[in-house]
Structure 1
Amino acid sequence: MADTEYFRRTAVTGLSVGPAEAERLRGLIEEWKRGCQLAVNEAWGVCHTRSEVQQLAYDTLREETTLGSQHVVLATHRAAEAIKRAQDRDGSKPEFTSPSVTFDTRTMTVFDDRTVSLTTTDERVRCDLSLSADGGYQAQFLDDEQWEPAKSTLHYRDGEFVLHLGFRTPRPEVEPPTEGATVLGVDLGVENLAVTSTARFFSAGELNHRREQFEQVRASLSATGTRSASRTLKQAGYSVDQFVRGRLHEVANGIVDEAEQYDCQLVAFGELSEVVDILPEADPFHEWLFSQLLSLVEYRAAARDISVVQVNPEYTSQRCMECGFTHPENRNLDEGQFECLKCEASANDDYNAAKNIAFRCVRRGPLSSRGLGASACALRSGLISPNDGFTPYAELTDAPRSD
């Protein structure tokens, strides 16, 4: 099954590791970094796809490192990803300094007793997962047979090992509507994590605040360097992680509920890679938030036979939904307002963008070879379509359900 045919989740958990196991894992991490760097050195300026880098560097890594064969394969793949990312950004040669290592189902086994076995350059180690008494949010993946372990990453920081445990489940098949459908547009942002074309706002204020507080705590405790500070930092990180993931679930549920309330068969987002590029204030944290939110919405929407699509978000923040006039100065970034220079229509800038995302989904045409996809955009007060214009819900036979 292709990689894109899975929904993926990550459950972050600490590991209870004894001195001997810790030494083996630290040794693996150092050898992994060295292997990844060797693969980059071999492939830099020559190739960048996984298959090419693996073919070019595999023998070198087997001869010059103590990594097992599967970890050699994973290291060449990691090097290929780093080379491709570097080429897309600043073009500087990647250097592997982060104390982390990738595992897959051949190098990692998760057991029902909440332990995990990990391959090292020496003997395998078996460790307890550090979970709360009730299992935490991680239990929903560990205890559900629908979610199977997948590629994961072990991180070592401040003397502690943290496992970003990956899970995946097959993506249900949801056929795009073949007849005229209603679409809910969703705009993603930094101040508002998500805004729908029906004017539902999901603030990112508390997410940003918690993250900023944690970064301040991390800077302070990392400088202290004591074992107590390390434990406190671990607890603070766990608390923030729990809050962020809980908030993402709330927002995802809210978006899908909004789609159901307004009888939408489609939910449209801007393409994530483009969204990040057009948000100068966005950073890797927000990029991660957007990706996680999209995945959560896709999973929940599929269970309700709602399709999720991505459209080009270019100029959606600059285009007036009333008259179509597009200009950068229509949007006031300082005040978060949109005011058309031509027709003087005004609205919240994120709300205006969400409507444009939905309308772009309609105007781009069929979503499948079998027929028409979206035909109308859901707004708070009615539907808008290219042919019929705006129609208030009061004039429609099937009005949206009330809250």
Structure 2
Amino acid sequence: MADTEYCRRTAVTGLSVSPTDAARLRELVDAWKRGCQLAVNEAWGVCHTRSEVQQLAYDRLREETDLGSQHAVLATHRAAEAIKRAREREGERPEFTTPTVAFDTRTMTVFDDHTVSLTTTGERVRCDLKLSDDGYQSRYLDDDEWEPAKSTLHYRDGEFTFHLGFRTPRPAIDSPTEGATVLGVDLGVENLAVTSTARFFGAGELNHRRDEFEEVRASLDATGTRSAARTLRQAGERIDRFVRQRLHEVANGIVAEAVEYDCELIAFGELSEAADLLPEAETYHEWLFERLLSFVEYRAAEEGVAVVEVNPEYTSQRCMECGFTHPQNRNLDESQFECLKCEASAHDDYNAAKNIAFRCVRRGPLSSRGLGAAACALQSGLVTPDDGFTPYAELSEAPRSD
């Protein structure tokens, strides 16, 4: 089954490790960092796909490190991912200093007694998982529907933690009929996402923390000491955790909105076009949009909601009330949409979200996937091409739940 056909979760646990096993795991961490760096050095400027980097660097890793065969493979894959990200961000050659190691089902075994066996550079070690008081990890450990998947060992301040991955096949989604209702979502820089039902997910804290991190990065890069590099790494890990948590919150909120308004479809502007239409967007925002879309897709699948992308061109300039389209309808300085023809006004991101939903309706069914929509959900009613706006109070079955 393809990787995209799984829903994934991560349960963070502590590890109870004996002094002997701790030494073995530290040796593995050191060998892993060295192996990843060797693979990057070998492939930088030459190739970046997993298969290419593995073919190029695997033999060297086996000769020059103590990594076992499967961990050598995983290290080349990790190097390929780092190279790809650096290329996308036009960054410098990656440096592997973070004390982490990737595991898969060949290099780890999770047992029913909540212990885990891990491959090292020597003998395997078996450790107790230290579960949190609320026991949220048990929801996956003790549920046969979730199987262990790619995981990561972390070492910090003398302690080991294990980010234990799980996966389960995505629920099958019945193709929405042509009478489906669609929720439109507009992506942006000031507001990460705005729905056609007028729910706003701000990006202020994300942007603020990123700006702070860039200032710290500039200062520490200028210092150039090992201590500065360690501090920078820790700061980067903190912001990564915050970003992931925020994206999960936004994704859950978008899907909750679709469920509340009985939407069978969620429509985004095509990511390949969305960033180009935002003059203030950077590579960082493109990455945010991609991650958010992936989070929404697997969360929506659990609720039986499909996710589609539509052409976002002119959605920020078109008036949802009368259809008049003009660049000057949008006041970028005030984030306001004011139609030059009918004088209708709204927040520009909200207007764009409604247009994205409406475009999904107007383009008709997608014959290749059997998806179609007849109405777009707004905060107070439905909009259809034929009937116009209908308040929920006038519908026989209001799509909004109590």
Deviation at 1:270, TM superposition (A): 4.0
Letter in 2 for 1:186: V
Asked if the contact 2:248/2:292 (under 8 Å) is kept, the reply is no
How far apart are the structure 2 equivalents of 1:254 and 1:41?
Answer: 42
Counterpart in the other structure of 1:167: 166
Greater displacement, 297-306 / 50-59: 297-306
Higher mean alpha-carbon deviation, 304-313 vs 175-184, is at 304-313
Map of 1:230 onto structure 2: none
Equivalences for residues 147-166 of structure 1 within 5 A: 147-166=146-165
**Structure 1 residue 184, shift from structure 2 partner:** 0.9
Equivalent position amino acid for 2:350 in 1: Y
CA distance in 1, matches of 2:166, 2:31: 26
Q: Which structure 2 segments of 5+ residues have no match? A: 215-226, 228-233
| 1:211–1:98 CA distance, 2 compared to 1 (3 A) | same
User: C-alpha distance in 2, partners of 1:133/1:17?
Assistant: 19
| Structure 1 counterpart SS, 2:30 | helix
Correspondences of 1:1-400 after superposition (within 5 Å): 1-90=1-90, 92-135=92-135, 137-188=136-187, 192=191, 194-202=193-201, 254-271=253-270, 278=278, 280=280, 291=291, 295=295, 297-299=296-298, 301-313=300-312, 316-322=315-321, 323-327=323-327, 330-332=329-331, 335-340=334-339, 343-369=342-368, 371=370, 373-393=372-392, 396-400=395-399
Contact 1:180–1:372 under 8 Å retained in 2: no
Compared with structure 1, are the counterparts of its residues 305 and 91 closer, same or farther at alpha carbon in structure 2 (3 Å cutoff)? closer
Relative to structure 1, is the Cα distance of residues 285 and 196 closer, same or farther in structure 2, using a 3 angstrom cutoff? closer
Alpha-carbon distance in structure 2 between the residues aligned to 1:210 and 1:96: 23
Q: Which stretches in structure 1 are left out of the alignment for 5+ residues?
A: 216-224, 226-232
Q: Relative to structure 1, is the Cα distance of residues 204 and 89 closer, same or farther in structure 2, using a 3 angstrom cutoff?
A: closer
Asked if 1 retains the 8 angstrom alpha-carbon contact of 2:170 and 2:302, the reply is no
* Alpha carbons of structure 1 residues 159 and 341: separation in structure 2 relative to 1, 3 Å: farther
Query: How big is each residue's C-alpha offset from its partner over 1:23-64, in whole Å with a ceiling of 9 and x where there is no partner?
Result: 222221221122122222332333222122222222221112
Task: Supply the distance in 2 between the matched residues of 1:128 and 1:273 (Cα, whole angstroms).
Answer: 45
Q: Provide closer, same or farther for how the CA distance between residues 21 and 288 of structure 1 changes in structure 2, counting only shifts above 3 A.
A: farther
Deviations 1:193-244 (A, max 9, x none): 54321123456678889999999xxxxxxxxx9xxxxxxx9xxx8xx97998
Q: Secondary structure at the match of 2:84?
A: helix
Report the 3-state secondary structure (helix = DSSP H, G, I; strand = E; otherwise coil) of the residue aligned with 1:383.
Answer: strand
Q: CA shift at 1:67, angstroms?
A: 0.6
Tell me the SS of whatever aligns to 1:155: strand
Contact persistence 1:176–1:368 (CA under 8 A): no
Q: 1:118 to 1:316 in 2, by over 3 A?
A: farther
Residues 141-165 of structure 1: per-residue CA shift (max 9 Å, x gap) = 2222211111112222333333222
**SS in structure 1 of the partner of residue 374 of structure 2:** strand
* Residues 312, 111 of structure 1: alpha-carbon distance in 2 compared, 3 angstrom cutoff: farther
CA contact (8 A) 2:175 2:369 kept: no
In 1, the alpha carbon distance for the partners of 2:284 and 2:11 equals: 19
Give the structure 1 partner of residue 217 of structure 2.
Answer: none
> Which residue identity does 2:368 align to in structure 1?
S
Distance in 1 between the 2:342 and 2:158 partners? 60
Number of residue-to-residue matches in the alignment:
386
Native 8 Å contact 1:10 1:166 kept in 2: yes
Is contact 1:176–1:367 with CA below 8 Å preserved after alignment?
A: no
CA RMSD of aligned residues (A): 4.1
CA contact (8 A) 1:194 1:201 kept: yes
Question: TM (normalized to structure 1)?
Answer: 0.78
Query: Displacement, 1:66?
Result: 1.0
Deviation at 1:318, TM superposition (A): 4.8
SS of 1:146 mapped into structure 2:
coil
Check the 8 A contact 2:7/2:167 in 1, yes or no.
Answer: yes
Query: One-letter code of the match for 1:61?
Result: L
Please say if residues 13 and 163 of structure 2, whose CA atoms lie closer than 8 Å, have aligned partners that are also in contact. Answer: yes
Cα 1:213–1:143 change in 2 (3 A) is farther
SS at match of 2:149: strand
TM-score, structure 2 normalization: 0.78
Moved more, 316-325 or 160-169: 316-325
